[in-house]
Amino acid sequence: MFCTLDELVARIPDGASVALPPDYSGCAMAAVRGLMARRARGLHLIGVPQMGFQGDMLIGAGCVDTVETAAVTLGEFGLAPRFSAAVRGGDVRVLDATCPALHAALQAAEKGIPFMPLRGIVGSDLLAARPDWKVVDNPFGADDPLVLLPAIQPDVALFHARVADREGNVWVGVRRELMLAAHAARDTFVTVERIQDARLLDDEAMAAGTLPALYVSGIAEVPEGAWPVGLAGCYEADRAALREYAEQAATDEGFVEWMRHHVTEVAAA
Amino acid sequence: MFCTLDELVARIPDGASVALPPDYSGCAMAAVRGLMARRARGLHLIGVPQMGFQGDMLIGAGCVDTVETAAVTLGEFGLAPRFSAAVRGGDVRVLDATCPALHAALQAAEKGIPFMPLRGIVGSDLLAARPDWKVVDNPFGADDPLVLLPAIQPDVALFHARVADREGNVWVGVRRELMLAAHAARDTFVTVERIQDARLLDDEAMAAGTLPALYVSGIAEVPEGAWPVGLAGCYEADRAALREYAEQAATDEGFVEWMRHHVTEVAAA
Amino acid sequence: MSDVRVEELLIAAIAARLQGLRHVAVGASSPIPGAAALLARALSGGRLRVSILGSRTHTCFTDGGRELFDCAAQGRMDAFFLGGAQIDGHANINLTAIGGYPRSRVRFPGAFGSSYLYFLVPNVFLFTLAHTPRVLVPKVDFITSPGVSAPNVYRPGGPRALFTNRCVFAFDRELGRFALDSVHPGESAASVRENTGFAYREPDTVPVTPTPGARELALVRGPVADAVAEVYPDFAARVFSSADAA
Amino acid sequence: MSDVRVEELLIAAIAARLQGLRHVAVGASSPIPGAAALLARALSGGRLRVSILGSRTHTCFTDGGRELFDCAAQGRMDAFFLGGAQIDGHANINLTAIGGYPRSRVRFPGAFGSSYLYFLVPNVFLFTLAHTPRVLVPKVDFITSPGVSAPNVYRPGGPRALFTNRCVFAFDRELGRFALDSVHPGESAASVRENTGFAYREPDTVPVTPTPGARELALVRGPVADAVAEVYPDFAARVFSSADAA
């Protein structure tokens, strides 16, 4: 259960499908840099339901074969430059979705059902590009087209959280998309700011926002593990570092430079 | 939003479908006695996913037309006597379900989808008795029968909780079937032990277990509102009172006597 | 055997079947399976995860009533226990009603989660302390949850065994029927036959259900009894407080 | 008008459309709609519920990322705002890509929740500060979310209006096209026509978008600006701190 950051990263195999949350949720940025440093290959990223810097970084580092998401965005720092470049170059396969479709498909995996119906989407060009999505006539209606989304069971859910206890329970608070991803995924790997002695499930307020250890395969204690995107309630985003990334990643050379400085040299140190 | 117990009970119309939780979750027992005292009629009870004393009491008082549930049980106090008698006499329509089917059908209403697929159930006599449930061939498989459950949108969700704040947010903690029922229902009425000044959503631990006021139509402050079944973390079940009910409700006359003592005379007092 | 109660025998016999599993869940009103799960947990050195519904200490669920069922569907639950007002020779169970449906002469609480968990949990153990021809019947009045399914039905789970106050039956999923596995001390192949309403296979020699060893008994009467007392106070008071006198 | 910025004009114009609603949600990167929602809330005496995604104070959601969408499907969300890298005359929006798909010359972040919320939320307001023929196009390159649907498609929601830096278009759902509703001070029917790539109906007389009244302006520059500063600090610094000098 408990391991070092390196051990945790090593347990995410090349080719795995990996569910990743948005920047505002809980991003295991240190683990993502670990995947980049080890030159992970062939990952299938799944946005829960969209992804930010970590998605762009992994794509830029050549770790990603497919990205299945409602968006890749740097938010106020602009378009995701490595994602855009990879799409332009045909270097990454994009399975475009919409936020609730990803939530619903993960819920289907959570419930062990083969698919989930969802309203909306009909008439969007998204549908034409997703032969894995079906449109059927609602069996409880008549002439009522309805989209069916196949379940998404990620091999791995990877995120960062504030605290875990010695049993391996992890507090996610209101960020329940993390709990959903963990329920849906085969294995969940979590980096946390700290590991506490007090049992989370013994505190009835904390228990309500706790992911039980039952779903957790590995935990590494990584203080500031969400740097630079930040962790709500713990520390803010490092806006200077995010801006630096956005600027450098705008070009191929700039990204290589950024990666040398923030990933390769750090890993070698 | 905030009202007296009587006002809250008055807002649940005869004929409404009412979602009720099990004894161990959070039961608005005082409100249920209010429904009995006013001689509510034609209710369609929905177990979330099963119900205990409150279901048996409402059935005994003649308030119930239909009960849709995975079980009606007095737990260690035995079979639900008024439920059994009503079934024997053909006085109540029972839509027998199984726990996860009710959760899934409520989730369908929560998601605004017409149905939810579910594994299991195929081959159970439950299915033969539920023409509203469909068995289809999994559109993502082949020769793979799968049950589809139509969404259940209760008119009302009714439960008891520990605390609400002045905005009408309600803390349910780990009892998220209450949150699901509230999301699924048109109107949610809650009795609470107390109303606090501090905003629940401002406390990030409490926020994780809080039902937002957005879903809540009415709140009444009713200390010991879950008596006699109890409220986890607040007060235990009153086992003597529960045993008294189980014994008296075993006969028609005994139930009338129990109701006179615990409902009619109390309401008149 | 005179100082071992049948409850203790069953607790040890069930616990033996739980060895090597990762996660066992038990319903709120199943004290013997609950005690067996806690014994198996103690014997596993704490590796076996036990979820006892209705317990505050022995449950980890934080996503409401649905989580148990979702967890089973995800393949994260290895064993569960089910009872039955009637159980037949194909392991069909009836938790619904006897004597007509929907208007029934005798009405039971209902299916609870059985019509789902019976399909999804790999090792379902049936359990009854009323081993009589009225409970173990040729054919249940109402199939709340079927013991076997057609080959095209998605069914990673199903029955493994039936534990009663007289014996243990193993369930053969290929054949869709029970075989007598062992009889408890004081019972015999004949006494079981006489009290069972359904047909089952009977080996030439029927073993006796093993009496719990000293280690098991010490655990059952010590830490397991303490834990059971929290969840099932009435049961603990009845069984364990008088165990020495039995 | 010289002392009213176009942002303030838009905030007031949008807020006017939100009166009488119960619940408005706004995306994390939509400061003008966010400010409009907060103004409408102030004008409603606090009755209008505002959910600003990404804000800690102005959001009540506690069930993870899916809750916003479930809430919309339940009919508990009356209005939402969407932008578009391209918007066409049928109110189709493109948030995905320009110049080929899946291999695209210009790639945008993606659909986010638009392909769903556009169908479910009764009042969707489109918004752009780039009113040019390159953004308001005859036909979007990629329909991320369609403006209108066939009659058999479940669609309680859809577009109501398009707010730009030049004008307000109303959307007629029956006709499936826009009509010019008002032009902002300094613009004209001609300047709008010149900068719009799609066809739309134009009335004989085009009103001017009303300038916010004193009460609205005081609220926008006072309590609304304070609240906006928490959620959209850069925007607040740019617009409100220099409002007097504009």
pLDDT digits (tens, 9 = 90+) for A186-216: 999 999 999 999 999 999 999 999 999 999 9
- Cβ separation of A110 and C70 shorter than 8 Å? yes
- Chain D CB contacts of A94 under 8 Å are 102
Please say if the pLDDT value at position C195 is more than 90: yes
Q: Which of D51, D63, D153 would you mutate first to test chain B, the one with the most B CBs within 10 A?
A: D63
- Cβ separation of C63 and A169 shorter than 8 Å? no
Considering only the beta carbons, identify the residue of D54, D152, D154 that sits closest to A24: D54
- Chain A CB contacts of D107 under 8 Å are 79, 83-84, 87-88
Give the whole-angstrom CA distance, residue B193 versus residue A266. 54
Tell me the nearest-neighbour CA distance from B205 into chain D, angstroms.
11
**Residue A267 pLDDT level (bands cut at 50, 70, 90):** confident
| Nearby residues of D39 by Cβ (< 8 Å), 6 or more positions away | D11, D12, D15, D216, D219, D220, D224
pTM of the shown model? 0.97
Token pair of D238 as six digits: 């740019």
Token pair of A215 as six digits: 């779903």
pLDDT given at position A76: 86
Token pair of C44 as six digits: 């596993």
**B78-126 tens-digit pLDDT:** 999 999 999 999 999 999 999 999 999 999 999 999 999 999 999 999 9
- Chain A CB contacts of B120 under 8 Å are none
Considering only the beta carbons, identify the residue of C63, C109, C152 that sits closest to B71: C109
D74 contact B CB<8A? yes
Residues 69-88 of B with CB under 8 A from C: 69-73, 75-76, 79-80, 83-84, 87-88
- Cβ separation of B113 and A116 shorter than 8 Å? yes
- Cβ separation of B183 and D73 shorter than 8 Å? no
Give the whole-angstrom CA distance, residue D177 versus residue D91. 7
| Nearby residues of B29 by Cβ (< 8 Å), 6 or more positions away | B53, B54, B160, B225, B226, B227, B228, B229
Which residue's entry shows tokens 């102030």?
D42
D partners (3+ CB pairs within 8 A) are A, B
- Cβ separation of A124 and D144 shorter than 8 Å? yes
D55 contact A CB<8A? no
- Cβ separation of B103 and C117 shorter than 8 Å? no
D1-18 CB burial, b ≥16 within 10 A, e <16 = eeebbbbbbbbbbbbbbb
Looking at chain A, the whole-number percentage of residues with pLDDT higher than 70 is: 100
Q: Is D110 left (phi over 0), alpha (psi -120 to 50) or beta?
A: left
- Cβ separation of B139 and A209 shorter than 8 Å? no
Give the whole-angstrom CA distance, residue C200 versus residue C196. 9
Residue of B nearest to D74 (CA): B112
Which residue's entry shows tokens 């793979």?
B144
- Chain A CB contacts of C60 under 8 Å are 169, 201, 212-214
Tell me the nearest-neighbour CA distance from C102 into chain A, angstroms.
25
Please say if the pLDDT value at position A145 is more than 60: yes
Please say if the pLDDT value at position D243 is more than 60: no
Q: Which of D58, D66, D88, D145 would you mutate first to test chain A, the one with the most A CBs within 10 A?
A: D66
Which residue stretches of chain B have pLDDT < 50? none
D70 contact B CB<8A? yes
Is residue C109 a contact partner of residue B79, using CB atoms and an 8 Å limit? yes
Task: Give me the mean pLDDT over the C16-36 stretch.
Answer: 91
**Other CB atoms within 10 A of residue C234 CB:** 11
pLDDT given at position D1: 47
**A146-194 tens-digit pLDDT:** 999 999 999 999 999 999 999 999 999 999 999 999 999 999 999 999 9
- Cβ separation of D110 and A124 shorter than 8 Å? no
Residues paired with A17 in a beta bridge: A44
**C94-124 tens-digit pLDDT:** 999 999 999 999 999 999 999 999 999 999 9
- Chain B CB contacts of A146 under 8 Å are 113-114
pLDDT given at position C244: 44
Please say if the pLDDT value at position C1 is more than 70: no
D131 contact B CB<8A? no
Residues paired with A93 in a beta bridge: A66
| Nearby residues of D86 by Cβ (< 8 Å), 6 or more positions away | D93, D94, D98, D134, D135, D136, D137, D140, D141
ipTM of the complex: 0.96
